[in-house]
Amino acid sequence: MTQPLGIDRDSYSHDLLVHDTDEELVRATQDFVAEGLDSGGQVLVHSSHERVALLRDALEPHPRLTFGYDEELYRSPTSTLFAYQRQLALAPQQSQVWVTGTVPLAEDRDAQAAWSRYESLVNVALGRFAFHALCTYDARTLPGHVVDAARAAHPHQGVGPLRRENPAYETPGDFLANPLAITPRVPGTPPSADLVLRDPRELHLARSLVAREAKASGLPSDARGDFVSATHEVLANAFRHGAPPVLLELWVTPGRLTALVTDRGPGLPDRMSGFEYPDRGGSVGLWAARQMCEELVIGTGPDGGCSVLLTAG
């Protein structure tokens, strides 16, 4: 029989609760919140207005217990992921953060898959911190593919004496290859524009090209500017760690920007590069670029070099 696993309070945990009743949700939340408060940590309970009201009634008030709404805290996967990371990294002293609640249910399957990828990538971006999460999924209302993706993204499941290793868990690198992740791919149409760069002194040409073409997307100017900067960082990184020529391909459609940067170097050994908070004095290029676009996916080019796909919209 599998033995229960306690939470190492000074380490990291990311656990899953799939529940069928409100009573099960309330009991698990009470147990998780009690452990978080007992540890001396800050505890956040978040969800929809209706779900927060249910849990607020079931929990005793405490100065280190706060409540929040998904519509305010979880605006997009990328912004949410790095907001948590910055909160933990920039805290004046290491403190435990305990978070329990739901992940937003998006309007379509592709958008929901972005939140599933977020759930998996939390394990990379926050794994070095004293961060503890209990993500709750209601089996009565959520589609099966959403619950299946959640099972693949969480190393442990259950609360308290019922906490166990999750046999369905996949590492973030493996999950990105899972069809449930619906990881972004290059559009199946010819690019709107492309450019071959052979020298880093030509980077200004690429920046001008992306800025000019991006106007046709109709995205707000700040979103276009961030995408231009993110693409520039990836191109610079290709010259720094790869080898020329570096190919930039750009797809522009209403409300959507996609760029693919491919070099002829040895490729990046880690698809997760740029998710961990950078050490002092370390490279921040990919880490910064990930925060300036919607998605940044690292892969291998057709000739063995590194390929980086960026999206915004």
> Which CATH number characterizes residue 77's domain?
3.40.50.300
* Structural domain ending residue among the three candidates 122, 157, 181: 181
pLDDT score, position 1: 44
Q: What is the pLDDT of residue 282?
A: 59
Same structural domain, 160 and 308: no
CATH number (domain holding residue 244): 3.30.565.10
- 197 with 170, same domain: the answer is no
User: Got the DSSP string for 26-84?
Assistant: HHHHHHHHHHHHHTT-EEEEEE-HHHHHHHHHHS---TTEEEEEHHHH-S-HHHHHHHH
pLDDT in tens, the chain (313 residues): 455 667 888 899 999 999 999 999 999 999 999 999 999 999 999 999 999 999 999 999 999 999 999 999 999 999 999 999 999 999 887 779 999 999 988 889 999 999 999 999 999 999 999 999 999 999 999 999 999 999 999 999 999 899 999 999 999 999 999 999 999 999 999 999 999 999 999 999 999 999 999 999 999 999 999 999 999 999 999 999 899 999 999 999 999 999 999 999 887 768 899 999 998 765 789 999 999 999 999 998 887 889 999 999 8
**Same domain (yes/no): 204, 235:** yes
pLDDT of 10 reads 80
The answer to whether residue 7 sits within a structural domain is no
Look up residue 273 and give its two tokens.
């590069």
- Dmax (CA) for the chain in angstroms is 63
Judge if 118 and 174 occupy the same domain: yes
What is the model's pTM? 0.92
Instruction: Tell me if 2 is assigned to some domain.
Output: no
- List the helix and strand counts (H, then E) for the chain: 10, 12
**Residues 136 and 222 reside in one and the same domain:** no
The verdict on residue 60 lying in a domain is yes
Q: Contact at 8 Å (CB) between 272 and 173?
A: yes
Domain count, the chain: 2
Question: Which domain, by its residues, includes 158?
Answer: 13-181
Choose one of 127, 157, 181: the last residue of a domain: 181
Residue 86 belongs to some domain of the structure: yes
Instruction: Answer for the pair 309, 295: CB distance below 8 angstroms, yes or no.
Output: yes
